[in-house]
């Protein structure tokens, strides 16, 4: 928490993202499927709920740095039911500079680690964005490095090629080490890492 405040209070950084537009996708929720998709579950929370907690924290940090941030959350009353590929298209509709879909892994309770995914036909810019966010997640969250992965991801497929896009899997929601509840400082560290990674990509040296 202190690190986040220090980041946002530095005068040189306060409006460093002015003029930038960021689209953050809350993974899962309503799609074209008949049933609501909560994603994975573990440690007393659903993936969709955890994705949303992180997404809105990322939004606050990036807004403090001057960015316009759109959070695509498919829970609120009247929220659209979209095909996965339509979610990425919304990033184009708001003229976003980047599109990041937030997710969390699950497997067997013992697996753990951090990875960032790009589409199987990712551009160099997609990979560059993923690497910036991945590096910050490893720095701030600190779990096993599972690297950058290329997959045929529907949520990224519809994103215009001109908009760098990636999908984060910061940790495993079902990791037994959390002992029934994911610590708030872990969630804060994840949000900070994603936000700084986006800032690192958007602010060219």
Q: Which residues contact 166 (CB under 8 A, 6 or more apart)?
A: 99, 100, 101, 116, 117, 118, 126, 129, 130, 133, 156
Cα 202 to Cα 114: distance, rounded to the nearest angstrom: 22
Given a cut of 70, is residue 68 above it in pLDDT?
A: yes
Task: Place 2 in a pLDDT band, splitting at 50, 70 and 90.
Answer: very low
Cα 167 to Cα 24: distance, rounded to the nearest angstrom: 10
> Which of these, 169, 144, 166, lies nearest to 156 by C-alpha position?
166
Give 181-204 pLDDT, tens digit per residue.
999 999 999 999 999 999 999 998
Cα 20 to Cα 98: distance, rounded to the nearest angstrom: 9
Quote the pTM value.
Answer: 0.91
Q: What integer best gives the mean pLDDT of the chain?
A: 90
C-alpha 183: how far from chain center = 18
Query: What pLDDT sits at residue 32?
Result: 65
Query: What pLDDT sits at residue 33?
Result: 67
Give 120-135 pLDDT, tens digit per residue.
999 999 999 999 999 9
Q: Which domains can be identified in the chain, with CATH numbers?
A: 18-202 (3.40.630.40)
Given a cut of 90, is residue 69 above it in pLDDT?
A: yes
Cα 184 to Cα 43: distance, rounded to the nearest angstrom: 12
Give the percent of the chain with pLDDT over 90. 73
Cα 193 to Cα 197: distance, rounded to the nearest angstrom: 6
> Which H helix or E strand runs over 53?
helix 47-64
Residue 97 tokens, joined: 């500079």
Task: Place 9 in a pLDDT band, splitting at 50, 70 and 90.
Answer: low
> Which H helix or E strand runs over 137?
helix 124-140
Q: Are 146 and 113 in contact (CB under 8 A)?
A: yes
Given a cut of 60, is residue 10 above it in pLDDT?
A: no
Give 20-50 pLDDT, tens digit per residue.
999 999 988 777 666 777 888 999 999 999 9
Query: What pLDDT sits at residue 86?
Result: 81
CA dist 161 → 43, 47, 169 (Å):
37, 27, 22
Given a cut of 80, is residue 108 above it in pLDDT?
A: yes
């Amino acid at each position: 928490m202190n690190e986040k405040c220090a980041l946002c209070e530095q005068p040189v950084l306060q409006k460093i993202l002015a003029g930038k537009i960021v689209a953050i996708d809350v993974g899962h929720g309503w799609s074209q499927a008949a049933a609501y998709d909560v994603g994975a579950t573990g440690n007393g929370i659903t993936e969709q709920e955890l994705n949303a907690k992180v997404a809105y924290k990322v939004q606050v940090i990036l807004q403090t740095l001057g960015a316009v941030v759109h959070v695509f959350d498919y829970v609120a009353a009247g929220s659209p039911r979209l095909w996965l590929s339509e979610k990425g298209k919304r990033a184009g509709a708001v003229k976003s500079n980047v599109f990041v879909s937030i997710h969390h892994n699950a497997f067997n309770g013992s697996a753990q680690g951090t990875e960032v995914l790009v589409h199987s036909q990712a551009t160099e810019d997609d990979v560059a964005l993923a690497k910036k966010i991945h590096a910050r997640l490893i720095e701030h969250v600190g779990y096993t490095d599972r690297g950058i992965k290329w997959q045929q991801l529907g949520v990224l497929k519809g994103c215009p090629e001109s908009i760098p896009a990636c999908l984060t899997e910061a940790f495993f929601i079902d990791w037994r080490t959390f002992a029934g509840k994911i610590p708030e400082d872990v969630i804060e560290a994840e949000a900070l890492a994603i936000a700084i990674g986006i800032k690192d990509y958007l602010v060219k040296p």
